[in-house]
Amino acid sequence: MVKESIYAQSPIAIYTLQDLDNVRNNLSSSYVLMNNLDFNSDSSYDQTDPNWATKKASWTTGEGWDPIGQYPNRFTGTFDGQENTISNLYINRPTEDKSIGLFGGTNGNFNPVFIMNLNLVNIDVTGGGDEYVGGLIGHNYLGTVSNCHVTGAVVGSAFSVGGFIGYNEAGETGIEDTEGGYIMAGYIENTSFSGSVSGINYVGGLIGFQGGYETSVIRSSSSGTVTGEYAVGGLMGSAAYILIEDCHSTSLVNGIGDSCSMVGGLIGQDYGYNTIRNSYALGDVVAPTCEEVGGLIGNNDSDVENSYATGDVSGLTNVGGLIGLGWSSVRINNSYSTGSVIGSSNVGGFIGRGNKVKISNSYSTGSIIGSTYIGGFIGLGSDLMVLTNSFWNTESSGMATSPAATGKTTSEMLNISNYNNTSTEGLDTAWDIAEYSLFTPPNSNIWFMEDTYGYPHLFYEYDEYIPLATEGTEPTVSTATASEITSIAGKLNANLTEVGTYGTPLVYFQHREIGGDWNGTAPISKDVVGTYSYNLTNLTPSTTYEFRAAVNFDDSSTNYGSIFSFTTQATNTAGMTLSEIRITNIGLIGDIPNLNFLLYHFTSTTVRIKGLTFLNSNIIFKTDDEEYTTRSNEDGYFELVMQLTERTYEFDYYTYDNLGNKSKVKGLTLIIDPDYLEDGEEEEVIEDIPPVEDQDDDVPVEDIPPVTQTPEETDKVFGERIFDFIKGLSITEKQSKDIATRSLISLPLLTILSLAFGNTHIWALLIRVFSYILALFKIGKKKRNCGLVYNSVTKEPLGNAIVRIFSKDGRLVATEVTNPYGIFESSLPSDTYKLNVNMNGYVFPSSLISGSQDLPYKNIYIGGDFNLINHPINYSVPVDPINKSVLQGIKTVVQNRLVNISIFLINIVIVIGLLFSIISYIKVSNTFNLSMLILYILTLLIAVIVSSRGKYRFGTVRDINEERLKGLELSLLESEFGTNFAKRITDAKGKYRFIVPGGEYKLVSIDPNYNILLDSESVFKGEKDKVMVISNNLKARKR
C-alpha cells in the first residue's frame, strides 16, 4: 500500500531568505526549507540579488520582517522545515492592525494547511493594534502545526499573545472527508516555546487564545516567563472546546495590574468544554493582585484528570495549589498539587473556591497562608460540591481543617495503605495504585508509590513510561527533498509521520536511476515521529536518481512515501578529487609547489591565498587560536583573504564536503615581517665593549662616560631607600616589638569580648575578622551569593520565612521561601529593589539591629531600596520576635552595638600589630622578630584558605560540544519522596546552583530539548543537619 505525502503539488525549495520572502507571492503552494537560515548572516541571502543588502537592513532593523499572509489573503499551502532552523527573526510593528508572526495568518478552510518540522531560534517579535501576535503564526485558522519549536521573546498589546501562536482557531473545514462529513483541522502536536511572552489579555507561553472545537493540542510545552493581566497561562491564556493532553509548562507566570484575573501555571482561563489530561505545570505563579489564581488553572470550567502542579502560588482571592476557581459540574480526578499557596481570601492547598465541582482521588501538600476562608484542601466550597477519596497533609500545610477532604499526617500520606485500604478514614473506594516494584507501565494503574518516590505519583511520571499510539494505527512516512548534492553523492531525507501500534517500525529508503530497479538502504529502528536521512554515495555525475521513503511493520507490510528525484552535479572541471587541496598563489607569489608543507616570508599583513580543490567544498585554514574559512566554486577554485599581524603563523589547511568527508591536512607557515628583505639583508652589528681592567688608568675621570642605570638597579636603590627610611624612624626596635607583641596578645582578649557580646563560634569570628583585614589589601573578600533571614535576638536562622522582592515601582517581581537554614536565593536583573519579609511571630524591619554587621552575620538589611548589580541578593535580614521581653530587646541592641565596636577595635589592633612586626624585623632581623612576622603572615594565609573553603560557587552546564547552555531548566528531585524540591534555570553563562538542606537528591533536566548525561555525580548526598551546595559542572545532550 502506498500513502502519498501531504504535498498537493511538487514542493518549491527555499534556500535563501529571498526565497522565504517569495512565499507571500504564491500563498497556496507547497514549500520545503532546504537549509538553516539566519536573518543576521550574509550567507543566508542571495547575494546575486542587487538589493540583498537593502533587504537585510529592512528585515533586521526598523519594522523588520513583514508577516506572510494577512486577511483575506492568508497562507493556504504547506510548509515543511525539514528540521531546519530560522534564526533571529525580528518584527517590530506595535501599532499595525495585522496578525504578527513569521506567518501572519493561515486559512485551511478549503485547502489543507500544514506547517511542520521547523525551528525558530532567538526571535524578537513585537505586535499590537487590534490583531493577534505569535512567534510562528499570528492567527492560525484551521491549519495543522506539528514538530515545530520556537525560542525568543514575544510582546503584544492587544488580544491574544502567544510565544508560538497568538490565536489558534480549530474546528470543521469545508473539505469533505470520505464518509460524507467534513475534515477537522487546527491540531497542534509536538510543539514548544521557550523564552518570554508579555501582553495584556489572553497571554500564553505557547498559545494566547485557543478557540474552536473538537480538536486537540498534544505533546506540547512551554518554558521561560509569561506576563499579563487577564487570562494568563504558562501554556495557554484561554482555551475552549479542545483536548489538551500530554502537555506541560515550566514557565514562571506573572499576573500584574489592579484588575488582574484568571492566572494559571498551565491555563489562565479554561473557558469550558475542554478535557485536560496527563498534563502538568512546574513553574511558580506570582499574581499578588489577581483573582482566580491556580498552580495549574486559574479559572476552571472543564474536566481535569491525571494532572498536577508543583509551583508556588500567590494571589489575592480564589487562590489554589491546582485550581483557583472551579465552576459548573466539572470533574477533577487523579490529580495533585504540592506548591505553597499564599492569598488573602478563599485560599486552599488544592482549590481556592469550588462550586458544583466533583473531586476524587486527589491530594495536596503545600503550605497555606491566608486571611479569610482558608483550608488545607479547599478554601471555600459550596454544598453542591462532591468530594471523595481526597486528602491533604495537615503538617506540611500548617492547616488542621478544610471545608472538604480528609486531613492526614505526613507519615499517613506516605503509607500506601491509606490509598488502597477502604478501612482508612476518608477512603470509600480504593485508588488505582500499585507499589513501585509491582508497577510495570504501561498498564491499568493510574498511580504508583514507593519510599523512593514518597507521595503517590501519576503513571506518566514513571521513568520508563512511553505513551502508546492508538491501537490499529499503521506507521506512515513522507519523502522530503534531497539535499547536499554533489557529483558523486546526495543526502536522502524523509519523515516518519506516524509510529503506529505494530511495534517499533523500520524505516529506510529505496532509490534507483530512472528506469532502473529499486535498491534499498539498510533499515533502522525508529520509535518516535520525526525526520531521518541517508547519505547516498558512489553516484554517477550528471545523472538523475529517484528515491522514496519506506517503512516496514508487522513483519511483512510496507508503506511508502511519494517518489522524489534529484540530479547529481557535473564532474569537477578543476580535475581535483576530495582528497586533494592545493595552494596556487600567495599574494603576488605564483607557481606554488604542491607540497605537504610550505613556508613563506610575507611583508604585507593582508594575505590573499588562491587555490583549487574539489568543487563546492569547504576550505579551512586554522591555527591554535584562529580559523579562516571559504568555499570553492563550481569549478573547484577558491580564494581567501586574511588580515594578519606581525608574527609567525602556523596553519593547518584542508577541505571537506557537505557529507563530512575530509581531505588530507597540509601545513603552511607564514612569517609576517614588513622589514624582511629577501636580498642584501644587513647583518646585525654587535660592538664589543672592552673590559674595565683594559681601560687606560691615565684617562681623566671627567672623560669617563657616565654609567646608565638599568631598571633593575633603580628598583634596588628604591628598595634600599625604603629600608633606610624605616631604619631611620625614631621608634626603637624594642618599642615596635612590644607593640606587635601586645597587639597579638590583645587579639584573643578582644575575640573573647566579642564572643561574650554576640552569639557566634570562635572560628567564624576569626574568619570574619581576618577577612575584613584582607579586604584592606583587596585580598580574599567575597560576597555570599545567597540571602539569609534570622532571629535578631537569638541569631537563629529562620526557615519557611516568606521573602517578597519588589521593584522600585512597587511591583512584586519574585517570592522566595527560606529553607530550614534560613537561606533564600534570587538572581534578578541589575536594578533597584526592596525586600519585605513575612513570618508568623516576627516583625520586619528589625528595630533592634543597626549597622552593616551583627555577628555572626554581615551585610545586614533592615529595609529600604538597594541596587543589585550583576550578583544575587546576598543580604542577611534580621527580624524581631513579637513576644520578646523588654530586657531581651535592650540586651540585643547593646550586644549589636558592642559587637560592631569590638570588631572595629580588632581590625585596628591587627593592622597595627602587622605594621609594627614589619618595622621590628627591618630594624633588627633576629629570630624572634622573624617569628612574629611569620606568625602574622601565617594567620592571614590561614584566613584566606579557611574563608575560601565552601564558597557557594556556581556550576556550569555545557553540551557535548563544550558550549555553555543558557536557559536550561533543571529540577532537583528528592530521592526520599521523588518530588521536585527546587528548580533552576541556567543564566546567560550556563551557570546554576542549589543551596538546600542536607539529604539525597537527583539532578535532572526538565527542559524539552536537553537531557542531563547522568553519572555518579548526578546523585548528591549530604549530611542532614548541614547546608548542602549543589553546583557540579554538568553535560547535557539534545533529546
- pLDDT by residue (tens digit) across 342-365? 999 999 999 999 988 999 999 999
**What pLDDT shows up at residue 932?**
74
Tens digits of residue pLDDT in 957-1016:
888 888 888 878 787 777 765 666 666 777 777 887 776 667 788 888 877 778 887 654
Other C-beta atoms closer than 10 Å to the C-beta of 557 total: 14
Helix pair 886-923, 733-757: axis angle to 10 deg? 160
Q: Of 53-67, 202-216, 486-500, which gets the smallest average pLDDT?
A: 486-500
Q: How confident is the model at residue 59 (pLDDT cuts 50, 70, 90)?
A: very high
For residue 943, which phi and psi values (nearest 5 degrees)?
Answer: -65, -40
**What pLDDT shows up at residue 768?**
47
Q: Are residues 53 and 191 in the same domain?
A: yes
In terms of pLDDT, which residue wins out, 72 or 20?
A: 20
**What pLDDT shows up at residue 385?**
81
Contacts of 555 (CB under 8 A, 6+ apart): none
Q: Which residue, of 902, 919, 948, is where some domain finishes?
A: 948
* CA triple 571-576-577, angle to 5 deg: 85
Domain count, the chain: 6
3-state secondary structure (DSSP) of residue 568: coil
Average pLDDT over residues 896-919: 70
> Which residues lie across from 319 on neighbouring strands?
293, 347
Q: Of 133-142, 251-260, 1021-1030, which gets the smallest average pLDDT?
A: 1021-1030
User: Grid coordinates representing 649?
Assistant: 603563523
Helix-then-strand count for the chain, H and E:
10, 88
Tens digits of residue pLDDT in 487-540:
778 889 999 988 887 778 899 999 998 878 888 998 898 888 889 999 888 788
Q: Are residues 239 and 304 in the same domain?
A: yes
What string of DSSP letters covers 105-118? Answer: EEE-SSS-EEEEEE
In terms of pLDDT, which residue wins out, 930 or 877?
A: 877
Structural domain including 560 reads 476-567
Task: Please tell me the distance from the alpha carbon of residue 489 to that of residue 985, in angstroms, as a whole number.
Answer: 43
CATH code for the domain in which residue 502 is found: 2.60.40.10
* CA triple 440-445-448, angle to 5 deg: 70
**What pLDDT shows up at residue 344?**
93
Amino acid 973 reads L
Asked whether the beta carbons of 789 and 862 are under 8 A apart, the reply is no
Average pLDDT over residues 669-690: 52
pLDDT of residue 116 exceeding 80, the answer is yes
Q: Are residues 168 and 264 in the same domain?
A: no
Average pLDDT over residues 576-600: 79
**What pLDDT shows up at residue 715?**
42
In terms of pLDDT, which residue wins out, 682 or 146?
A: 146
Q: Is 867 exposed, middle or buried (0-12, 13-18, 19+ CB in 10 A)?
A: exposed
Q: Which residue, of 886, 920, 948, is where some domain finishes?
A: 948
3-state secondary structure (DSSP) of residue 751: helix
Give a yes or no: residue 835 inside a domain. yes
Asked whether the beta carbons of 247 and 306 are under 8 A apart, the reply is no
Give a yes or no: residue 215 inside a domain. no
Residue carrying C-alpha cell 590583645: 746
**What pLDDT shows up at residue 946?**
41
**What pLDDT shows up at residue 4?**
35
Residue 302 backbone class (left: φ over 0; alpha: ψ -120 to 50; beta: rest): beta
In terms of pLDDT, which residue wins out, 603 or 388?
A: 388
Task: Please tell me the distance from the alpha carbon of residue 442 to that of residue 447, in angstroms, as a whole number.
Answer: 11
Q: How confident is the model at residue 760 (pLDDT cuts 50, 70, 90)?
A: very low
Amino acid 484 reads E
**What pLDDT shows up at residue 783?**
43
Residue 317 backbone class (left: φ over 0; alpha: ψ -120 to 50; beta: rest): beta
Task: Please tell me the distance from the alpha carbon of residue 254 to that of residue 266, in angstroms, as a whole number.
Answer: 12
User: Grid coordinates representing 654?
Assistant: 584542508
**What pLDDT shows up at residue 1034?**
85
Q: Are residues 200 and 245 in the same domain?
A: no
In terms of pLDDT, which residue wins out, 312 or 718?
A: 312
Highest mean pLDDT (candidates 88-97, 675-684, 746-755): 88-97
Q: How confident is the model at residue 324 (pLDDT cuts 50, 70, 90)?
A: very high
Q: Is the dihedral of CA 614, 615, 621, 626 positive or negative?
A: negative
pLDDT of residue 617 exceeding 90, the answer is no
Give a yes or no: residue 529 inside a domain. yes
* CA triple 368-446-1019, angle to 5 deg: 70
pLDDT of residue 778 exceeding 60, the answer is no
Residue carrying C-alpha cell 531521518: 532
Give a yes or no: residue 249 inside a domain. yes
Strand-pair category, 823-824 with 787-791: antiparallel
Q: Is 24 exposed, middle or buried (0-12, 13-18, 19+ CB in 10 A)?
A: middle
Burial 236-269 (b: 16+ CB within 10 A, else e): bbbbbbbebbbbbbbbbbbbbeeebbbbbbbbbb
Q: Is 395 exposed, middle or buried (0-12, 13-18, 19+ CB in 10 A)?
A: middle
Residue carrying C-alpha cell 547519505: 535
3-state secondary structure (DSSP) of residue 781: coil
Average pLDDT over residues 238-265: 93
In terms of pLDDT, which residue wins out, 738 or 52?
A: 52
Q: Are residues 235 and 127 in the same domain?
A: no
Q: Is 1018 exposed, middle or buried (0-12, 13-18, 19+ CB in 10 A)?
A: middle
Task: Please tell me the distance from the alpha carbon of residue 362 to that of residue 334, in angstroms, as a whole number.
Answer: 5
pLDDT of residue 595 exceeding 60, the answer is yes
Predicted TM-score (pTM) of this structure? 0.51
* Mean pLDDT across the chain: 80
3-state secondary structure (DSSP) of residue 34: coil
Give a yes or no: residue 727 inside a domain. no
Q: Are residues 797 and 899 in the same domain?
A: yes
Q: How confident is the model at residue 318 (pLDDT cuts 50, 70, 90)?
A: very high
Average pLDDT over residues 587-604: 82
* CA triple 361-364-366, angle to 5 deg: 175
**What pLDDT shows up at residue 203?**
96
Q: Are residues 193 and 248 in the same domain?
A: no
Give a yes or no: residue 221 inside a domain. no
Q: Which residue, of 567, 589, 621, is where some domain finishes?
A: 567
For residue 419, which phi and psi values (nearest 5 degrees)?
Answer: -115, -20
Q: How confident is the model at residue 698 (pLDDT cuts 50, 70, 90)?
A: very low
Q: Are residues 937 and 992 in the same domain?
A: no
**What pLDDT shows up at residue 117?**
94
Torsion of CA 763, 766, 767, 769, to 10 degrees: 160
DSSP E strand stretches across 471-617: 476-483, 490-498, 506-513, 519-520, 524-525, 530-536, 544-553, 557-560, 564-567, 581-586, 597-602, 606-613
Task: Please tell me the distance from the alpha carbon of residue 679 to that of residue 101, in angstroms, as a whole number.
Answer: 65
Among 414, 359, 433, CA closest to 390 = 359
Give a yes or no: residue 4 inside a domain. no
Give a yes or no: residue 314 inside a domain. yes
Asked whether the beta carbons of 478 and 562 are under 8 A apart, the reply is yes
**What pLDDT shows up at residue 1007?**
75
User: Grid coordinates representing 344?
Assistant: 488573602
pLDDT of residue 761 exceeding 60, the answer is no
Task: Please tell me the distance from the alpha carbon of residue 769 to that of residue 911, in angstroms, as a whole number.
Answer: 11
Average pLDDT over residues 736-760: 61
In terms of pLDDT, which residue wins out, 330 or 317?
A: 317
Q: Are residues 909 and 983 in the same domain?
A: no
Average pLDDT over residues 629-639: 85
Average pLDDT over residues 565-593: 73
pLDDT of residue 707 exceeding 70, the answer is no
pLDDT of residue 573 exceeding 90, the answer is no
pLDDT of residue 765 exceeding 70, the answer is no
Q: Which alpha helices (H) appear in 670-760, and where do they start and end?
A: 711-727, 733-757
Q: Are residues 1016 and 961 in the same domain?
A: yes
* CA triple 320-324-327, angle to 5 deg: 130
In terms of pLDDT, which residue wins out, 991 or 698?
A: 991
Tens digits of residue pLDDT in 811-849:
767 767 776 667 777 767 778 888 888 877 788 888 888
Average pLDDT over residues 939-967: 65
Residue carrying C-alpha cell 575530509: 662
Among 123, 88, 124, 236, CA closest to 170 = 236
pLDDT of residue 132 exceeding 50, the answer is yes
| CA distances (Å), origin 57, targets 41, 94, 123, 364, 577 | 11, 19, 16, 54, 39
Asked whether the beta carbons of 23 and 113 are under 8 A apart, the reply is no
pLDDT of residue 919 exceeding 50, the answer is yes
Other C-beta atoms closer than 10 Å to the C-beta of 52 total: 17
**What pLDDT shows up at residue 214?**
74
If you ran DSSP here, which 8-state letter would residue 468 be given? P
Q: Are residues 621 and 762 in the same domain?
A: no
Q: Are residues 562 and 597 in the same domain?
A: no
Among 80, 84, 79, CA closest to 26 = 79
HSE value, Cβ hemisphere, 13 Å, CA-based, for 305: 9
Q: Is the dihedral of CA 521, 525, 529, 533 positive or negative?
A: negative
In terms of pLDDT, which residue wins out, 722 or 52?
A: 52
Average pLDDT over residues 540-565: 85
Residue 84 backbone class (left: φ over 0; alpha: ψ -120 to 50; beta: rest): beta
